[in-house]
């Protein structure tokens, strides 16, 4: 049932029944079958005859849950079903196979005929559901429907369970019905420790569980894949429906068919009344929102049942009756809330003794929207209550809101029972990107948003319709594990078009699809913020006290600026410096404040800046170094989120933290440098918190160096306000002279609480050649870099800058990402920190500020040149001259290289060329690079400087004359260089749920591209998508679609636009290891339209464009 693991775990059922205490102590796990059981052959003649009729009617169901919904996650899985009505085309299976949310499914018959099937009904409580299909689509198989015979089930009956083996073949398992009155199994999804933390209540689990029914039990040994299998007798009749098993034993659990037969009759009647089209089913289901359990008379006596009541019940019940129904739980807000309690013993309903689930359920179904009278005993006291039977379908959600990749819908009866919340609350089935970024977990209940109480999806949509892109607003939620306390977070509305606008999906049982329409009007998510708690504040003021500074700024400003910045009121409490409190004015007459602001603005700003500087200086004088006091106002804490819709370039996480330093700060733009393990790709949402001033503002990725491990991030200085802009300043860079061994440096960084910390250290190696291996999933790794090593290990997470005793920055202390591998199959992500010399950063900064040639990039309304970087796209490594001599390098060259660089005493060797580079097929692995343009080279910087010299010559052809040593011979070769910008990957396409892009440098660094062309590289796939369903995995190239080559993204778009909805596409792929593969993939434009996300440097916006979709699809 689980969307990814295909296995659900469970505590032992009936935790309160003493007769089964031994089973409870074992805590055996239960599993919904998605994977198949082993094969078993029948031998008796009567079973042969029965199975010859049954087996052709059993189908393999391949289901794909397209969205997370209710208890289910988005996933693809296998299961079983069987035909129960051949003429009308109805297949019976489990509810957890049909899924409560959007599902796409196919049924494969015995002869491998595959047809699409559509859900027509899933029971809200019991584990059964129906698919429909077109009987005329089966052309080559003779089969008969399997009759349902619930009355044939009895203890000792020999049965066979007919299922599938992972969709490959039929599996038949034998067994004998041992029990007909087993409690419904509890399937758990959480770990044992989590379950114990939730007081070991099975109802506290978040998965699907059946209740208010008995189950049958047999030792048939079914495993995954046989969910929905028929349990047949020797006459070929289905006596039960296989539902689950206990993974630690051979026990299997079967659902009785009485309610299945009733529902099937309603479906048949509805179809007969509408022969041209399947109608939406109308199956009356009543509920009191009460969970009952069946307990024996001995235990009920201990609960206080009177002897005269027991006598009445025994006389009115069949002789085999052994107990009564007891209230196990009551859902808050339901018909029985405040009327029934846990432990109440049910005696009469409408004057009739009621001891069986089936009898009670039939009465509720027939009394929907009517009142019934219940007599219960509570601790020996008889009570009579009158309750209204509720329509069960009315509390079963049939729609959901999709916003920023998240799924939100009313809380279902199933989850309300699990979590003990009211039905209909606003439930987060999947947080998506926006809510995940704010820290809202799955299964949360949204209570308040943007200052408004939220009790329905309609109210949530109303609030969203008023919001602007980039707005940050408070949201309150609760979780079932901590239900008595609301948690408050800041939600940031997506500033870029990472996802489609909010959409509302509604289930259509007549078609089996979920129709979609926009949740907001076309002009919603406008540019002018309307946050009530901000827009009502016309002005803010400065109130200065010797201990606290309350900052209140004018909020009547340009609407676009408000979209792109944050106000002081939105600052997180854990980012506020000690002794400084940031607040927003929410009371008072704004017109009175306006005049005062005009008179006091200039003086208060100066006084506030002076006060903060004095407070900082006083603290520094007694506790910190000069370097720390100078560097602290230049430090910035990064919080970076990457949207899952654009997780390209092998980025390995959605959330990053790190420390950067301001290297430029003017009225029009601020620039911060940080390592690429913090800002990995350009498609990121970046928030900056400043050490000099307690405020948090958004920023944009400006430049990603193609080779070195740093990125430049731009912010709007006006977002800091007048006081903040004066407090924040840029660091002074000291690119020359370079650090040498033995130099004293100060490592200055920030803690998570924005407290500056400095540590004095000694440089042990200023030019350590860095070697980082390739990860399993190729991502950026630093190559051709020399880093700075210190004499002290400051841990793997502390980052900042290296400065001299005057606070001049000589290097950034940055984080590097790597992967530690254990054996052949296991690996673990790891990070370490090293110093990155500031001169490489200073060179790029000079190009930006001097207006060097390059494509323009809009930042804060001003176009800035984007520097281009020329490089030799070759991965190099160093070899000691002593070893180079052993390879045959002459004494003359050894002496020349030592003379050039007495310190390093090394030679550069070629490890490999980036695929597709101009150096490919010219340089070979193992080549020693001796000289470029007749000048000896000994380090990576030498090659970098030569490449930069080429840019100064307008007539250059971009080639380098290189002297190399190859296989004992000295050779002269001409090698081309490549020019790259700092934008990173700026375009990706989502097709059938897989994200494709041009091969990024980390992939090309592996030295291989398909011969058919560079192709399009699959970097990620989405759960529940066709790519997931048909096995189009990441880490491979798509080189051909339907026989047409796809050498680049434009060709790929052209080919895929020709594929219609529901058509199969023949896709040829090549894996990173060079292995080719061909697969067929069915396009689903309803749930998975084709779209493109591209960065526009003219507007500095990420724009989403629909390439191909249905009229009813989300775009």
Q: Scanning the structure block, which residue is given the tokens 């509305």? A: 493
- The alpha carbon of residue 234 and the mean position of all alpha carbons in its chain are separated, in whole angstroms, by 48
Of 133, 130, 149, 131, which is closest to residue 141 (Cα–Cα)?
A: 133
**Spatial separation of the C-alpha atoms in residues 1 and 210, rounded to whole Å:** 13
Q: Give the Å distances, CA to CA, from 352 to 346, 369, 384, 757, 814.
A: 11, 20, 13, 77, 76
Of 466, 463, 420, which is closest to residue 443 (Cα–Cα)?
A: 420
Cβ neighbourhood burial of 321 (10 Å; 0-12, 13-18, 19+)? middle
Q: Give the Å distances, CA to CA, from 533 to 212, 488, 541.
A: 48, 15, 16
Question: What's the CA angle centered on 1070, arms 1065 and 1072, to 5 degrees?
Answer: 140
CA atoms in the 13 A half-sphere facing the CB of 136: 0
| 3-state secondary structure at position 47 | helix
Q: Enumerate the H helices of 720-774 as residue ranges.
A: 721-727
What is the C-alpha R_g of the chain? 34
Of 92, 78, 80, 79, which is closest to residue 145 (Cα–Cα)?
A: 92
Cβ neighbourhood burial of 404 (10 Å; 0-12, 13-18, 19+)? buried
Phi, psi of 347 (to 5 degrees): -110, -60
**Spatial separation of the C-alpha atoms in residues 466 and 549, rounded to whole Å:** 32
Catalytic residue among 3, 6, 73, 96: 96
Per-position b or e across 852-886, b if 16+ CB within 10 A of its CB: eebeebebbeeebbbbbbbbbbbbbbbbebeebee
For 721: left if phi > 0, alpha if psi spans -120 to 50, otherwise beta; the answer is left
Catalytic residue among 3, 226, 245, 799: 226
**Spatial separation of the C-alpha atoms in residues 571 and 578, rounded to whole Å:** 14
Q: Scanning the structure block, which residue is given the tokens 């190399």? A: 964
Of 239, 184, 144, which is closest to residue 12 (Cα–Cα)?
A: 184
| 3-state secondary structure at position 542 | strand
Sign of CA dihedral 472, 399, 101, 289: positive
**Spatial separation of the C-alpha atoms in residues 765 and 772, rounded to whole Å:** 18
Looking at the DSSP bridge assignments, the partners of residue 675 are: none
**Spatial separation of the C-alpha atoms in residues 306 and 672, rounded to whole Å:** 78
Q: What are the structure tokens assigned to 786, written together?
A: 């020399």
**Spatial separation of the C-alpha atoms in residues 704 and 918, rounded to whole Å:** 21
**Spatial separation of the C-alpha atoms in residues 98 and 128, rounded to whole Å:** 8
Q: What are the structure tokens assigned to 570, written together?
A: 């939105």
Catalytic residue among 123, 127, 233, 564: 127
Find out whether 36 and 166 touch, Cβ atoms under 8 Å.
yes
Measured distance between the N- and C-terminal CA atoms of the chain, rounded to whole angstroms? 29
SS (H, E, C) 259-326: HHHHHHHHHHHHHHHCCCCCCCCCCCCEECCEEEEEEEHHHHHHCCCCHHHHHHHHHHCCCCCCEEEE
**Catalytic annotation present for 96:** yes
Q: Enumerate the H helices of 796-835 as residue ranges.
A: none
Find out whether 54 and 232 touch, Cβ atoms under 8 Å.
yes
Q: Mind telling me the catalytic residues? A: 96, 127, 226
């Amino acid at each position: 049932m689980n969307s990814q693991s295909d296995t659900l775990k469970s505590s032992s059922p009936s935790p309160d029944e003493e007769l089964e205490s031994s089973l409870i102590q074992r805590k055996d796990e239960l599993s919904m079958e998605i994977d198949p059981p082993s094969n078993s052959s029948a031998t008796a003649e009567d079973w042969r005859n029965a199975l010859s009729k049954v087996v052709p009617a059993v189908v393999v169901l391949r289901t794909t849950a397209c969205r997370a919904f209710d208890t289910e996650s988005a996933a693809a899985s296998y299961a079983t079903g069987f035909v129960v009505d051949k003429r009308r085309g109805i297949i019976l299976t489990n509810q957890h196979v049909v899924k409560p949310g959007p599902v796409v499914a196919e049924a494969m018959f015995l002869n491998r005929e595959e047809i699409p099937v559509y859900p027509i009904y899933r029971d809200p409580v019991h584990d059964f559901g129906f698919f429909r299909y077109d009987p005329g689509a089966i052309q080559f198989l003779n089969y008969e429907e399997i009759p349902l015979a619930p009355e044939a089930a009895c203890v000792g009956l020999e049965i066979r369970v007919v299922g599938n083996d992972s969709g490959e073949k039929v599996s038949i398992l034998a067994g004998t019905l041992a029990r007909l009155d087993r409690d419904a199994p509890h399937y758990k999804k959480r770990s044992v420790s989590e379950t114990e933390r939730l007081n070991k209540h099975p109802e506290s689990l978040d998965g699907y569980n059946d209740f208010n029914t008995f189950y049958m039990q047999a030792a048939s040994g079914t495993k995954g894949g046989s969910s929905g299998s028929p349990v047949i007798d020797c006459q070929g009749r289905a006596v039960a429906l296989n539902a689950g098993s206990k993974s630690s034993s051979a026990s299997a659990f079967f659902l009785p068919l009485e309610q299945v037969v009733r529902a099937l009759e309603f479906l048949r009647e509805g179809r007969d009344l509408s022969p041209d089209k399947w109608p939406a089913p109308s199956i009356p289901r009543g509920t009191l929102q009460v969970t009952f359990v069946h307990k024996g008379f001995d235990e009920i006596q201990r609960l206080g049942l009177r002897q005269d009541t027991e006598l009445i019940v025994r006389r009115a019940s069949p002789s085999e009756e052994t107990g009564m129904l007891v209230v196990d739980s009551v859902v808050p807000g339901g018909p029985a809330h405040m009327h029934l309690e846990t432990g109440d013993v049910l005696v009469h309903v409408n004057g009739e003794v009621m001891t069986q689930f089936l009898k009670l359920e039939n009465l509720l179904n027939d009394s929907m929207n009517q009142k019934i009278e219940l007599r219960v005993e509570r601790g020996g006291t008889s009570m009579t209550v009158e309750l209204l039977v509720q329509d069960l379908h009315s509390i079963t959600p049939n729609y959901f809101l999709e916003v920023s990749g998240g799924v939100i819908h009313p809380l279902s009866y199933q989850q309300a029972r699990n979590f003990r919340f009211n039905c209909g609350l606003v439930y987060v089935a999947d947080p998506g990107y926006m809510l995940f970024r704010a820290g809202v977990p799955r299964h949360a209940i949204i209570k308040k948003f943007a200052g408004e109480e939220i009790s329905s999806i309609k109210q949530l949509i109303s609030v969203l319709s008023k919001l602007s892109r980039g707005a940050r607003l408070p949201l309150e939620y609760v979780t079932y594990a901590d239900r008595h306390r609301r948690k408050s977070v800041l939600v940031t509305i997506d500033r870029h078009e990472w996802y489609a606008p909010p959409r509302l999906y509604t289930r259509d049982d007549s078609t089996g699809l979920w129709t979609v329409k926009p949740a907001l009007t076309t002009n919603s998510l406008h540019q002018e913020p309307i946050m009530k708690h901000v827009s009502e504040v016309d002005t803010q003021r400065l109130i200065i006290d010797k201990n606290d500074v309350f900052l209140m700024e004018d909020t009547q400003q340009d609407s676009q600026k408000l979209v792109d910045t944050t106000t002081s009121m939105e600052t997180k409490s854990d980012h506020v410096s000690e002794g400084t409190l940031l607040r927003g004015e929410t009371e008072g007459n704004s017109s009175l404040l306006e005049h005062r602001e005009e008179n006091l603005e200039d003086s208060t700003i100066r006084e506030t800046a002076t006060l903060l500087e004095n407070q900082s200086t006083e603290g520094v004088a007694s506790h910190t170094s000069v370097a720390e006091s100078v560097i602290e106002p230049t430090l910035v804490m990064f919080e970076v989120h990457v949207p899952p819709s654009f997780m390209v370039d092998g980025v390995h996480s959605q959330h990053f933290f790190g420390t950067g330093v301001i290297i430029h700060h003017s009225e029009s733009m601020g620039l911060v440098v940080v390592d690429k393990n913090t800002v990995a790709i350009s498609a990121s949402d970046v928030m900056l918190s400043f050490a000099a001033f307690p405020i948090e503002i958004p920023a944009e990725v400006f430049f990603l160096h193609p080779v070195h491990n740093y990125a430049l991030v731009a912010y709007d200085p006006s977002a800091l306000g007048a006081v903040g802009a004066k407090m924040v300043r840029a660091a002074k860079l000291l690119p020359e002279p370079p650090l040498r061994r033995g130099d004293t440096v100060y490592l200055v960084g920030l803690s998570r609480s924005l407290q500056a910390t400095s540590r004095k250290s000694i440089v042990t190696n200023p030019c350590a050649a860095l070697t980082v291996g390739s990860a399993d999933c190729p991502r950026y790794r630093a190559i051709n870099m020399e880093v700075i090593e210190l004499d002290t290990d400051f841990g793997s997470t502390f980052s900042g800058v290296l400065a001299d005793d005057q606070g001049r920055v000589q290097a950034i202390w940055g984080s590097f990402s790597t992967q530690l591998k254990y054996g052949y199959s296991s690996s673990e992500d790891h990070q370490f920190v090293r110093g990155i010399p500031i001169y490489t950063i200073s060179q790029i900064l000079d190009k930006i500020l001097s207006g060097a040639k390059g494509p323009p990039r809009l930042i804060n309304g001003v176009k800035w040149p984007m520097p281009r970087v020329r490089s030799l796209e070759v991965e190099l490594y160093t070899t000691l001259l002593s070893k180079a001599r052993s390879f045959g390098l002459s004494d003359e060259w050894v002496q020349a290289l030592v003379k050039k660089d007495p310190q390093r005493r090394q030679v550069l060797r070629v490890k490999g060329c980036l695929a597709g580079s101009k150096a490919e097929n010219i340089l070979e692995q193992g080549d020693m690079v001796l000289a470029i343009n007749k000048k000896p080279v000994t380090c990576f910087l030498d090659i970098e400087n030569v490449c930069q010299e080429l840019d100064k010559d307008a007539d250059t052809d971009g080639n380098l004359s290189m002297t190399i040593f190859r296989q004992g011979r000295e050779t002269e070769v001409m090698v081309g260089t490549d020019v790259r910008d700092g934008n990173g990957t700026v375009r990706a396409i989502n097709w059938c749920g897989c994200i494709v892009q041009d091969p990024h440098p980390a992939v090309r660094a592996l030295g291989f591209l398909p011969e058919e062309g560079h192709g399009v590289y699959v970097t990620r796939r989405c759960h529940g998508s066709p790519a997931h369903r048909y096995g189009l995995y990441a880490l491979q190239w798509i080189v051909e679609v339907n026989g047409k080559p796809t050498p680049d993204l434009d060709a790929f778009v052209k080919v895929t636009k020709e594929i219609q909805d529901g058509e199969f596409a023949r896709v040829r792929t090549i894996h990173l290891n060079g292995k080719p593969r061909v697969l067929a993939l069915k396009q689903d434009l309803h749930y998975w339209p084709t779209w493109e996300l591209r960065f526009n440097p003219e507007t500095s916006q990420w724009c989403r464009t629909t390439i191909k979709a249905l009229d009813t699809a989300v775009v």
